[in-house]
């Protein structure tokens, strides 16, 4: 296997909890399924599970902290549940984008809006912040969202949020 393929496998091993568990319980089988050589399998299997899991945890924490910075209103609405929801989301999503944290935040907003256990106010906050990120980070000219709640007060009130860029000027309504 090439160095790039080995590095990609390691990245998946660190970020994919299911793959990591499977590899730790059957390294030869999982290694062969991922085109690793016997030498590579042996070298990776020597890594202690605690070290592997510890590094994976540190990566998840970093992802969580970066997404919290991008979604402060959603973080405030979900409060203590933000971390749990993000961990559930992160188990099944691993960005391949060069803007991983932005991609994490945008896809996490999608995830929250479809989760039945998330309050409507939190879903609205996620919808609002997702639109704001799409406008600013993805350099869109116009982005609009219909909201069921006022994101600043949490009051149930229909709102229409619009971000508009004309030349270098930005307008928010």
End-to-end CA separation in angstroms for the chain: 53
Q: What is the pLDDT of residues 140-161, one digit of tens each?
A: 999 999 999 998 888 999 999 9
Q: How confident is the model at residue 1 (pLDDT cuts 50, 70, 90)?
A: low
Q: What is the pLDDT of residues 9-54, one digit of tens each?
A: 888 888 888 898 899 999 999 999 999 999 988 888 887 678 888 8
Q: How confident is the model at residue 78 (pLDDT cuts 50, 70, 90)?
A: very high
Q: Are 63 and 29 in contact (CB under 8 A)?
A: no
Interval 86-106 mean pLDDT: 92
CA neighbor of 148 nearest in space, from 172, 121, 126, 173: 121
Give the whole-angstrom CA distance, residue 70 versus residue 60. 16
Q: Are 93 and 104 in contact (CB under 8 A)?
A: yes
CA neighbor of 56 nearest in space, from 11, 6, 97, 100: 11
Question: Please, what's the largest Cα pairwise distance for the chain?
Answer: 62
CB within 8 Å of 154: residues ≥ 6 apart: 77, 121
Q: pTM for this one?
A: 0.80
The domain ranges of the chain are 1-47, 62-172
Is pLDDT of 81 > 90?
Answer: yes
Helix (H, G, I), strand (E, B) or coil at 132: helix
Give the whole-angstrom CA distance, residue 77 versus residue 61. 20
Is pLDDT of 126 > 80?
Answer: yes
From residue 122, alpha-carbon distances to 36, 53, 150 in Å are: 44, 31, 11
């Amino acid at each position: 296997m090439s160095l790039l393929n080995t590095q990609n496998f390691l990245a998946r091993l660190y970020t994919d909890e299911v793959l990591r568990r499977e590899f730790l319980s059957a390294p030869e089988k999982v290694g062969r399924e991922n085109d690793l050589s016997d030498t590579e399998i042996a070298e990776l299997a020597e890594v202690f599970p605690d070290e592997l899991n510890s590094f994976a945890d540190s990566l998840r924490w970093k992802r969580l902290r970066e997404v919290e910075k991008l979604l402060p209103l959603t973080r405030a609405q979900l409060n203590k549940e933000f971390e749990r929801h993000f961990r559930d989301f992160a188990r099944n999503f691993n960005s391949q984008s060069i803007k991983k944290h932005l991609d994490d935040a945008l896809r996490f907003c999608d995830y929250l809006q479809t989760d039945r256990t998330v309050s409507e106010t939190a879903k609205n906050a996620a919808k609002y912040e997702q639109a704001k990120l799409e406008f600013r980070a993805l350099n869109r000219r116009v982005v609009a969202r219909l909201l069921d709640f006022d994101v600043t007060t949490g009051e149930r009130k229909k709102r229409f949020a619009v971000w508009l860029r004309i030349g270098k000027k930005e307008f928010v309504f």
